[in-house]
Structure formats: C-alpha cells, structure tokens
Amino acid sequence: MSDTAVEIKNLRFSYPSRNVQILHGIDIHVPRGAIVALMGGSGSGKTTTVRLITGQYPIPAGSSVVVDGEPIERLDLAGLYRLRLRLGMLFQNPALFTDLPVGENVAFPLREHSQLPDATIRDLALMKLHAVGLRAAAARYPSELSGGQQRRVALARAIAFDPKILLYDEPFAGLDPVSLTIIAKLIKELNEHLGSTSIIITHDVEQTFEIVDLVYLMWQGKVIASGTPAEMRASADPIVSQFIHGSADGPLPFHLPGSDYRRDLRLADAP
C-alpha cells in the first residue's frame, strides 16, 4: 500500500444543473496519516472537492481521483459503496438522523453494515460516544443537543467504522471557542488513535494551523497555494497573506463578479 491516501489530478467539475464551472483543474496530494486542510473563501470549490472524493458526483473525463488506492472514476456503485465503508464524513450541518436518538445515530452504520448482535452494537456505539464525551446523551434526540454537541455526535457516527480517511466539512463553523478547541483536539486525537488520514475544510486559520500538516489554499476553483502552515505564514504571496491575516483589502475582491455597476444602476453614460 502506497503512502498516498488521496491523489487528485487535474480535477475539473461543473454541476449538471448549472453552467458555472466550479473546479478548474486542481491537483491535491494527501499523504497517508496526515491532516490536510483545504482552505479558501466561500464558493471556492472546497465542499465540491470533498464531495467528489466521496463519489457523490460522477468524476468528469480527463480528471482522476484516487482514494485509498482506488480510482473513483472507474468504480461502479457497489465498488463505490465498498470504498465508502473506509471513509467517514462530517457534514457542515451535522446531518444527524432527526428521527433516531443519539445512540442509534452512532449505531446506524454498524446496524446497516455489520451482522453484530444488538448488545455489541450498543456497546460499540457507547464507546464511540464516550470518545467524544457524550455517552450520557445516548438516549436523547439530536434536537435536544447544542450545535457543538451535535457535531460531536456526527463525529462519533463518522468514526463508527474506524475509517481510514476522515473528511470534515467546516467542523469549526459556528462554534463557541470552547467547543471549537474540543473539536480540534478530537480531530487531532482521532487521527492519531485510528491511524487515519484527515481532510479538513475550514476557514478558521488559527485553530487549523495548530493541528494540520499541510494546507491547500483554493480560490475560484483553483489551488493557488499549498505548503505546511509555517510555509504559508511565511508566504509573500499577497493573496495568501490576505487570507491568513483576514484583511478586507487585498487582491481577493469583495464583490461577486458581474455586470458593470454603473450599468446596473442605469446611468446614462454606461457602455
């Protein structure tokens, strides 16, 4: 087995229902065992990239996504489902099953894919919940938990099958500082204990730079910079430094590209 967990080559993509091209040929290399951050402004194609890694959309011709040694574009549905058993994903909104209690949410993948007896599944679910510190909430419903707690439950569910690759879609968004630190610590710990590889989509520079090994900075469907956190901090590139320091002024425009402002206002001398 190679030391590469995910290898993306020349990935282009546009959603079938929309004409806008989301990804303009990106290359990403994720070494096994690393924690890699995909950073970038909203709408830069980070979520789409992660969805393509899990095979939620077909990979267009000419692009290649190899996950855990398997080229996704060549897998059929059954092969894709087998591969997904080795992946765990944490969604931006936690996507917990609202009609099941927390314990059953965590047990869900085990119930669906294993023939283990009920008591074993229950114990395993409790162990995963214990790992995220929410064993006491097993009987509650997701709606009774706070946003940060829901995300921890979703994390417990994502690791139920001890995945080899964990994908996090904005795990820090909308969390208070304490929950944020807890989640960051959990991601780091889980990556070590499970021996897995993690890919994190995030905006949170400070928290992310403390735990990740590698950063890819994306902008409008392209990877514009990559390197270790230290390299990124030291980068002279104006875009990178604008993003890292979060300043409003810089090469990253504030406006959505569109028609001329004066023309939209119907000023007489507009072209």
Q: Provide the 3-class DSSP secondary structure of residue 204.
A: coil
Nearer to other proteins, 127 or 270 (CB): 270
**Least distance (Å) from other proteins to the CB of residue 88?**
8
- For residue 121 the two structure tokens come to 């599944």
- Which span (16-24, 36-44, 94-102, 207-215) binds other proteins, by CB under 8 A? 94-102
Q: Which residues between 236 and 265 bind other proteins (CB under 8 A)?
A: 264
> Is 200 within 8 Å of 212 (Cβ atoms)?
yes
Is residue 119 close enough to count as binding other proteins by CB under 8 A?
no
Let me know if 91 is exposed, middle or buried by CB neighbors in 10 A (0-12, 13-18, 19+). Answer: middle
Q: Return the residue of 24, 70, 91, 122 that touches other proteins, per CB under 8 A.
A: 91
**Least distance (Å) from other proteins to the CB of residue 159?**
12
Q: How many beta carbons lie within 10 A of that of residue 271, not counting itself?
A: 5
Is residue 84 close enough to count as binding other proteins by CB under 8 A?
yes
CA quadruple 107, 113, 117, 120: dihedral, nearest 10: -40
Is residue 98 close enough to count as binding other proteins by CB under 8 A?
yes
Q: Return the residue of 73, 108, 140, 222 that touches other proteins, per CB under 8 A.
A: 108
- Which span (21-29, 38-46, 87-95, 179-187) binds other proteins, by CB under 8 A? 87-95
- For residue 270 the two structure tokens come to 């507009």
Q: Return the residue of 113, 185, 193, 262 that touches other proteins, per CB under 8 A.
A: 113
DSSP states along 225-261? EEE-HHHHHH---HHHHHHHHT-SSSSS-SSPP-S-H
Query: What residues does 115 pair with on adjacent strands?
Result: none
Is residue 57 close enough to count as binding other proteins by CB under 8 A?
no
Q: Which residues between 169 and 198 bind other proteins (CB under 8 A)?
A: none
Query: What residues does 200 pair with on adjacent strands?
Result: 37, 168
**Residues interacting with other proteins, by CB under 8 A?**
54, 56, 81-82, 84-85, 87, 89, 91-93, 95-99, 108-109, 112-113, 154, 157, 264, 266, 268, 270
